[in-house]
Every structure is written in structure tokens, then in C-alpha cells.
Chain A
Amino acid sequence: MKNINFHNKIATLIFSLIFVVSCSERNVDNLALATYPTTPEVFIDGFSTGLNFSAWGKVTNFSVDYVEKYSGTASMKFEVPNFGDPAGNAAGGVFITSNPRDLSSYNVLTFWAKASQVDTITKVGFGSSQLNGATDETYKVTVNNLVLTTTWTKYYIPIPDGSKLTQAKGMFYYWADPRDGGKGFTFWIDELKYENLGTIAHASSAVFSGKDVVYNNVETGDYQIPDLSGTFNLPTGINQSETFTASYLTLNSTNPGVATVDKPGKYTVINAGSTLITAKLAGNNVQGTVLVNSIGAPVLPTTALTANTTAYTVANVKSIYSDSYTNAVIDSYEPFWTWTGGGMTTNYLVYSISGNHYIRYTNFSDIYNQKGILVAISFETIPVDISAMTTFHMDVFVPATSPNVTNKPTITLEDWSGNYGGTNSSGSYTSSTPLATGSWVSLDIPLLSFTGLTGKSHLVHIVLNNFPTVICVDNIYFHK
């Protein structure tokens, strides 16, 4: 089992305090058709028109400083808290304009910055707008681990392709953690604005880490291309890398009858056949391609399985997912989990046959090279007590067309009794054989086989790992 850390985006959202600093509503009647202001200034000595701020982490981390500044009368001051600050462990925020701007005539976001000590802003960029619960990160750009010094210095965040930014809202965002050892620091940013500089040069970028990827037996549907890394040479002669979304790419499909490329950063498989997806960025070739070999429409089971309620009566079952029992309250069928060097990319859909529902997981855009399904079913809010149960049951259908059908899957059960006065534990069971394909397979696994699972009173996750690329699952329950 990989060492998975839970990255709770929802919690971050809940704890975000949104306060509008200045928001002048514009009369929509006065807007010319499909043209937007080209205002380059974000913060010079104050908020530019229509700019709003929303904090992440410690909500009071940002203020306007009228004493310390690079030029003019004010700068933006950001206070990164010490580790363990009860008000928040980091400083972050987004600056969003309520009036979209046309940034297509610019090629770089620039600012002057200094810090109270030589230190690092973990993430800084633009294209993230997260306001009033709605998130749009279609055109997000991030420079990771930007090092600031104690003297005012100009920094640059190149726009991969300005022509895509005709209605930009996310003007700036940042996230800064305390440094190693947990000490906070303060940094200032001034003269934050978009520019068109002829001194940004030698752009190069790669998708799929510059590799030529082959995806076989791909089904019809939308497939997101993962974020890219790009390098730009700055006016100071140094190369700076940044990550940005595939929405900046101009995609091409050699066989548009198999896949189209009409959606930002995605290709849409519409028919069986083969097509090569290539990408350009602002007219330049991008390293890395994906060859899609599609089988057409998804292969679905023709029948559904109903739980054997005669053998396993309601009284002897704790159900997670089944039409035959009362189920646990599921928080997520696909929580967003990350770990060092990766994250989950599995997708799911719920299908039904004559009212009998099942979950279908796919992972064709296997950008973290998991070679199959890695996903968790999470019910943390109301943990399930399986102390009295003896066996884990799950029905699985693997289409014969699924890639990675020879995987020997692992199921992990995780218990959080530690939150309730006990001890956390988890146990895994790995199948000694691959799953049969083309028909429903019923797994009945004794809980004793989940080596390491000591507490069973507060089960919170069922983790499916190393399953084939396409699986249907149903009737997930514990029985005795």
C-alpha cells in the first residue's frame, strides 16, 4: 500500500473566509459584446477595480502595508504563521476580479517582492478563481517554491499562451507554508501587474513528462490531459520552471472521427479507432503525445447481481453499498487523495440495470502510472462498526477489454478508532490470482485475512488498489 496522505480540500474551503475588499458591480447593460477590459494592474498601491480577495489557511494573513513598499504608497503584506498556529498553518489566498479581463495582449505577470528572511513561497501564480464556492482553475499557472530574498526583487510568472486569457478572473494566488522548523515569516509584494515583455524567451514545455504515451482499449468519453511543466528564460537570463493546465495547449487529433479536441485541455473519444493527440503551445511544438486506441462505447455488464438476502439477512449485515440493504453514509466514492509524486485520477459513474445500481470505475488517463484502479470509498463522517462481522463481501465485474486484467488486486480496510479513544489500524488483503473477466465475481474474504486490521469499530475507508483499469463493483457489505 502506498503511503497516502489525506488532502482535505473541502476542509480548506470550509475554513476559507471570504471577504470582499472592493467590489464595484458593473451595469451589465453597458458591456460591449464580448469585449473585456484589458487592465493590466492587479495591485499597485491598492486594489484595482473589481478585485476581490479570498483567504486560505490563516484568514488574517493578508493586509495592505502603507509603510513597507517598493514604490508608491502601499504594498501587499503576507504573514506566514508559525506551524501550529491555531488560526491556520499556512498563508494563502486568491485575488479574483469580478469583471473578467482580457489579458491576451500580455505574456507575463510581474511583481516586486521581498521577505523578512530568505524564504520560499510554496506556490505562486494566477488563473485560480475560487469565490463563493465556485472554483475555476481552467487556466491555472503555478511557480513552485519561489525563493525570496530580503531585498526588493522583480519576479516573473510567464503566461504560457496569452491568447487563451480573453476572460480571466483569477488575477493572482499564493500559498506559503512555514519553513522547515515551523517558523513563520513575512513577505511583501508590490507593483503586481501583467506586462508584455520581449525579454521572456526560449519557452519549452512537455506534456506526459515529454513521453509518447499509448492508451489501449480506451472507451468513449472525455479525457483530461494532465498539467504540464514549462520552462521560460527570464530577463535575468535564468531558466524558471512553472506548471500549468493543459487548457493552454492547442490540441490536434490526427483522426477527428475517433477523438475530438474541442474542450480546453481535454480530448473526447467518440468512436472506436486510433488517433494521435499532439499539442502546441503558442504555436510551438510541445514534447509528449498520446496515442489513443479506442474500443468505442464502454463494455457494460448485461445483468446485475442482487445480494443474497436469504443467506445474509439484514440483521447479519453491515452494508456499505447495495440495493438490498440499508447502506452506510458514503462521503465520497472517489475522494481526492495525494501522496508524494502522485494523486488519484480514477473516475466513476453509477449505472443501473432494472433499478439495481452499481459503480463503474475507470482510469484511462493513468497519469501517475498506477497501472489500474486506485480509489477509496470513504465514510469518515459516520464510521461503520464491523466488530461483530466476520467477512467482507464485494461483487466485481471486469470487462475482458479492460487494460491490466492480470493485476492481482489489493483491498485495504482502514479503521480510525484512534479518533474515538482506541488505536487506528488498517489491514490489506491481496488476491493471489487475477480477477476473472466478463462476468460478475463474488469476493468473500474473511476479515482475518486483512492482516493488520486490529480495530473494527470505526471503519472509514475501503481502498481498492491495483485493480484492472475498468471495474464495476456492487454489493459491498460485511456479514457474519
Chain B
Amino acid sequence: MYVPVAERDGFPVRLTGALTNRGPCRSWRKFLLTSGSDRRTIRSEMTRPTANASAPSRDVQEKGVPSFDLLFRPSVALISIVRRFVADFYNEIVPDPDTASRLALSTHELLENAVKYSTDGDAALHVEIDPAAGTVAVRTRNRATASRIDRLQRSFAEISAAPSAAALYAQMLRRSAVQASGSGGLGLARIWAESEMTLRLVVADDEVEVHARGTIAAAE
């Protein structure tokens, strides 16, 4: 895990790690200063990532690509705060506003699901952008019930079997329109179709990771 930048028991958000070679520092600090009723001042310096086992990736350490990790306790208000922070982050890194909007949508949808179905109160978000390679990776992690995991696996099976993102989205729109309640996979279909990101599910015991990968215009 990264060296904590700001951490406090009972504070609803814990941010770990920090690095970055440009813009994100500004977004990061803004988020820290406004993410709760306790608007304390944080250290101004940014810590460097350590070589501990759960650092996000070798790319992050070696190339210093813009990235961040968030681990926080579920709260609807916090999801929106995180989305705004993430949108700022994307707008800073990604030159095309349309692409930044697509990424913000997918991040919000993934995070909301992670928060909604977390069984232990924690939800984690990892975002990593490699402007040189033109790739973006978003990952959420949470613990979930067996029934939720089963539901997710069925949704991902539908994604795998679908002929196209548009076809699955159309199917999910129709299904959602008549569904009384519950999760029907609309959010995932929306990510695939509207955000143009590919999705992957990783399950280990009761821990669920949803990965979304997409492309951005590579930096010149």
C-alpha cells in the first residue's frame, strides 16, 4: 500500500498513495480539502510511492503515470464528491472533454455499484491513465454477498455472449423498462456502450473486482 497522504480514524475518506507527474496533484489537494466537514489542511508535499506489495502497478512506479487510489466508507454523498473529483482528474489529464465525460460516467457507475453492494462497508477505487500509451484503467473492489456475485457473473456472461455493446444496451434498456426493481445489468451495459470501455470481472472468495479499460487519444 502507498504511504498515506491523509488518514484519520472516523474520517469517511482515506486516500492512499500519491504520485504523479503533473495535473493530478492539484485535483488531489482540492479533493482532500473539501471532502468532509473537517476541512483540515494537509501536508503540501506529495509522498512518493513505496515498493510495497499492493502498489497499483509497475507502470505507476516506473513511468509515474497519473493515477490514484481511494478507499472509502459507503455514502451516497461521497460518491458524487468522488465523481466530481474524478471528472476534474480526467479533465486535467485527458485533452478531449467527451472522453473525460465517458470516463467519469463509467467510474461513477462502477463505484456506485461497489458502494451499494459492499458487505463490509468499504469500497475501493483505482484509476490509472497512461497518456503515452493512450489507455485508461478503472477498477473497483468490494466484498459482496454470494447472491450479488452470482448476479454479477450472470451479467458478465451476458456481456461475453452479446454480439455488440449496442445490442446488449438495447436489450438491457428494454428489460429495465419492465423490471420492477433490482439490478439488471443496465449500469454495466451503459458503461460498455456509452463509455466504450471493456469490462472484466474478477472474483476471489467474497471479493469482487470490476475492471474497465478504455482508450484515450495518446499524447503526442
A and B part of one assembly:
no
